[in-house]
Amino acid sequence: MKPDAAAARAADLRAEIDQHNYRYYVLDDPSVPDAEYDRLLRELEAIEAEYPDLATPDSPTQRVGATPSAGFDEVTHSIPMLSLANAFDEKEVRDFDRRAREGLEVGTVHYAAEPKLDGVAIALSYRDGALVRAATRGDGARGEDVTANVRTIRAIPLKLRGDGWPAELEVRGEIYMPLAGFQAFNEKAAEAGAKTLVNPRNAAAGSLRQLDPAMTAERPLAFYAYSTAGRTGLPGSHYEILERLRDWGFPVNPESRRVDGADGLLAYHADLLKKRPDLAYDIDGVVYKVDDLDEQDTLGFVSRAPRWALAHKFPAQEEITKLLAIDVQVGRTGAITPVARLEPVFVGGVTVTNATLHNEDEIRRKDARAGDYVVVRRAGDVIPEVARVLVERREGDLPEFQMPTECPVCGSAVERQEGEAVARCTGGLVCRAQLRQAIQHFASRRAMDIEGLGEKLIAQLVESEMVTTVADLYRLDAEQLSGLERMGEKSATNLVEQLKRSKTPELGRLLFALGIREVGEVTANQLALHFGELGALREADVEALEEVSDVGPIVAAHVRAFFDEPHNLKVIDDLLAEGVEWQAPEKIEGETPLAGQTWVLTGSLGVPRMKAKGWLESLGARVSGSVSGKTDVVLAGEAAGSKLAKAEKLGVKVMDEESFREMLAGYGIGTE
Ligand code: IVH
């Protein structure tokens, strides 16, 4: 490229990249995909490599320019960086407004209100529109020169846009780490075995203090401008200054508003508190500022905080309290969750007495013990959790947490499978914590198929203790039932009829209905086929169970644990005593004529697919979901589609339903 053409292209690229930055960071309206942005940047880099004179300090390629430094130079702030007075409740806000009204001798004060970001304050100096220095707040009077690091933050303009900016301009604001970036960074760091960041605020602070700007460039930092130092050449209202800063290329928080009087301030606070869980960044409150700069001057300062501004904090989301005990709770699926019982503590606006500890491993990892001091966190609407344990505050020896071996609700054994984080109660049929779910599953269409036994009715039956196990269902009579809410005589009689009708399930259905963990419909049918009767299955050890096709060590262990639990056996015996008679599966003695064959079912068949599959499996075939060269037969029902086409293409044998029925009849099965 000729020098003139290179200079012109470089100027175009720079303008285009700056525009994309502005769209992305200031307008929050990205105009191109990241890949396109990177392509433009690389093209500019290539040109500047050829013509180094073109690489001016304000070029977007020059964000990571400096080499690592030994430390940071001290910077004296020409106008001190002050702090804010805090308010925690309505009264303090009304007092603030009253003092402002009195000081200004006005009836209503006009304010600007904005989120208070939890990050690091920064002062950015621009000379003739170019960023020349960035300094931290430090002690307010003197901070550190972190220019090289700040230049790597793309949200901060190296060069101002538009016009009308004063030749000397100092913009102040907050550098922060958005939550998504924080999480992504930590996930990557954890994967790489590197150190993770503690929280977004520390992350932002730590990132700015990196000696190597290339390290800062790796951190997903962002920026919002919230004020200027001095007012020369600027509008006379804070809110208008923010608007001007936005025009000049600074990101300004889109939640900033103008509001009137104490009521306006409080409404803004309430609104932001509601929005807090949905924001892309952490905020710890809101900031109110008297909007008129002359009025600000009139009010002046007390010690190091302005009388014209106030930080109205949100309730803290983390507090320290004492862990009194670790109990366990049994969930609807039998999952046993440890719960922290806490000395009551006010967190995130509510009093918290319980918090989740997730599971046993989590307790070990955090080393939580009854008697410890812990940090409780309540973020947004989520359930409070024990975030950390202050092990250093532990007094003396405290016993480690032990997972109970018996369910606290029903006394059944607690099992925890290898590789699983969750411990579970094995008393699925008797445990009151799980009863509703167990009955619902038991009655469902593919299990015992008891029509008319809906969720609300189940709730009533359990609540009133008319039903304490699924066996009790068969003891219900129409009279008892019609006494329940929304239960007419007719529906009561119908339900009793349905219950009676459900008493002769195939063995597979009954096994499925029992709700043994990991035993779905298919596995239940396999178990039924393999053992042929309930007694043998009840006695089978893990090795015998693993012989069943589809049953691996985990399922075998669950089945064994289920039948080892005397409570469960009692329910099964009760079911049988109430007249439930399972039907033996259809099985061909000794012979498995289709052994070694792979079948695929497609299209709609005249019988449920599960049934056809069961028949085929009883004949020794394997039933697969997809057609391949290894498929022996494709059974094609009505409207068979792509699988049939594929079979034809591969030359796989295709059978229609009629021939299939004939084949089954030949083996003496398939009569339903
Ligand atoms: S104004 C004199 N506005 O809060 C006014 N500060 O205690 C000075 N902060 O470290 C600050 N968001 O970095 C202002 N919208 C906002 C803010 C904000 C966060 C931080 C600021 C400082 C602290 C003040």
271 φ/ψ angles, rounded to the nearest 5 degrees: -65, -45
Kindly report the protein residue whose alpha carbon is nearest to atom 12 of ligand 1: 116
Could you give the angle at the alpha carbon of 525 between the alpha carbons of 444 and 534, nearest 5°?
A: 95
Cα dist from 474 to 96, 102, 332, 502, whole Å: 70, 78, 23, 10
Could you give the angle at the alpha carbon of 525 between the alpha carbons of 524 and 529, nearest 5°?
A: 120
Q: Is residue 438 part of a domain?
A: yes
- On whether both 50 and 186 belong to a single domain, the answer is no
* Substitution site in 79, 81, 83 for ligand 1 pocket (most atoms within 8 Å of beta carbon): 83
Confidence at residue 413, expressed as pLDDT on a 0 to 100 scale: 92
- On whether both 124 and 268 belong to a single domain, the answer is yes
Cα of 76 to ligand 1 centre, how many Å?
Answer: 19
276: its two tokens: 């807090």
Pocket of ligand 1 (CB under 6 A): 82-84, 114, 116-117, 121, 137, 174, 226-227, 287, 306, 309, 311
Confidence at residue 545, expressed as pLDDT on a 0 to 100 scale: 93
Kindly report the protein residue whose alpha carbon is nearest to atom 17 of ligand 1: 116
Q: Is residue 96 part of a domain?
A: no
Of 393, 415, 445, which residue constitutes the final position of a domain?
Answer: 393
- On whether both 114 and 197 belong to a single domain, the answer is yes
Kindly give, in sequence order, each residue whose CB lies less than 8 Å from that of residue 406, ignoring residues fewer than 6 positions away. 412, 413, 414
Mean pLDDT, the chain, whole residue set: 90
Cα of 305 to ligand 1 centre, how many Å?
Answer: 11
Confidence at residue 622, expressed as pLDDT on a 0 to 100 scale: 85
Looking at ligand 1, which atom is closest to the CA of residue 121? 13
Annotated catalytic residue: which of 91, 116, 195, 587? 116
Cα of 347 to ligand 1 centre, how many Å?
Answer: 23
Kindly report the protein residue whose alpha carbon is nearest to atom 16 of ligand 1: 116
Confidence at residue 271, expressed as pLDDT on a 0 to 100 scale: 97
As beta bridge partners, residue 388 has 375
Cα of 135 to ligand 1 centre, how many Å?
Answer: 15
Catalytic-residue membership of 116? yes
pLDDT tens track for 146-160 = 999 999 999 999 999
Looking at ligand 1, which atom is closest to the CA of residue 137? 10
Cα dist from 374 to 14, 107, 242, 303, whole Å: 52, 48, 41, 36
Looking at ligand 1, which atom is closest to the CA of residue 118? 19
Q: Is residue 222 part of a domain?
A: yes
- On whether both 124 and 171 belong to a single domain, the answer is yes
- On whether both 523 and 637 belong to a single domain, the answer is no
- On whether both 610 and 560 belong to a single domain, the answer is no
Cα of 82 to ligand 1 centre, how many Å?
Answer: 8
* CA end-to-end span of the chain: 82
Confidence at residue 587, expressed as pLDDT on a 0 to 100 scale: 63
* Substitution site in 79, 81, 84 for ligand 1 pocket (most atoms within 8 Å of beta carbon): 84
Pairing of β 74-76 and β 142-144: antiparallel
Q: Is residue 94 part of a domain?
A: no
E strands present in 553-632: 598-602, 622-624
Kindly report the protein residue whose alpha carbon is nearest to atom 24 of ligand 1: 83
CATH code of the domain in which 643 resides: 3.40.50.10190
Cα of 88 to ligand 1 centre, how many Å?
Answer: 16
Tell me, rounded to whole angstroms, the distance of Cα 555 from its chain centroid: 29
Kindly report the protein residue whose alpha carbon is nearest to atom 15 of ligand 1: 116
Confidence at residue 635, expressed as pLDDT on a 0 to 100 scale: 92
Cα of 84 to ligand 1 centre, how many Å?
Answer: 7
Confidence at residue 579, expressed as pLDDT on a 0 to 100 scale: 94
Query: Residue with structure tokens 């609540």?
Result: 463
Kindly report the protein residue whose alpha carbon is nearest to atom 14 of ligand 1: 226
Confidence at residue 66, expressed as pLDDT on a 0 to 100 scale: 63
Cα of 401 to ligand 1 centre, how many Å?
Answer: 44
Looking at ligand 1, which atom is closest to the CA of residue 84? 7
- On whether both 160 and 221 belong to a single domain, the answer is yes
Residue 201 carries which side chain, given as an amino acid letter?
Answer: R
Looking at ligand 1, which atom is closest to the CA of residue 256? 15
- On whether both 454 and 572 belong to a single domain, the answer is yes
Looking at ligand 1, which atom is closest to the CA of residue 286? 15
Looking at ligand 1, which atom is closest to the CA of residue 83? 7
Residues of the chain short of pLDDT 50, as ranges, are: none
Cα of 598 to ligand 1 centre, how many Å?
Answer: 70
CB 372 within 8 A of CB 390: yes
Q: Which domain holds residue 387?
A: 318-393
pLDDT tens track for 166-204 = 999 999 999 999 999 988 888 888 788 777 777 788 889
Q: Is residue 418 part of a domain?
A: no
Kindly report the protein residue whose alpha carbon is nearest to atom 3 of ligand 1: 226
Q: Is residue 591 part of a domain?
A: no
Q: Is residue 420 part of a domain?
A: no
- On whether both 567 and 618 belong to a single domain, the answer is no
DSSP assignments along 147-169, one per residue: HHHHTT-TTS-SB--SS---SEE
- On whether both 558 and 645 belong to a single domain, the answer is no
CB 597 within 8 A of CB 623: no
CATH code of the domain in which 33 resides: 1.10.287.610
CATH code of the domain in which 543 resides: 1.10.150.20
Kindly report the protein residue whose alpha carbon is nearest to atom 9 of ligand 1: 116
Q: Is residue 582 part of a domain?
A: no
Number of domains in the chain: 5
Cα of 100 to ligand 1 centre, how many Å?
Answer: 19
* Substitution site in 79, 226, 283, 303 for ligand 1 pocket (most atoms within 8 Å of beta carbon): 226
* Substitution site in 79, 81, 116 for ligand 1 pocket (most atoms within 8 Å of beta carbon): 116
Kindly report the protein residue whose alpha carbon is nearest to atom 13 of ligand 1: 121
- On whether both 509 and 615 belong to a single domain, the answer is no
Kindly report the protein residue whose alpha carbon is nearest to atom 21 of ligand 1: 121
- On whether both 493 and 568 belong to a single domain, the answer is yes
* Substitution site in 81, 86, 117 for ligand 1 pocket (most atoms within 8 Å of beta carbon): 117
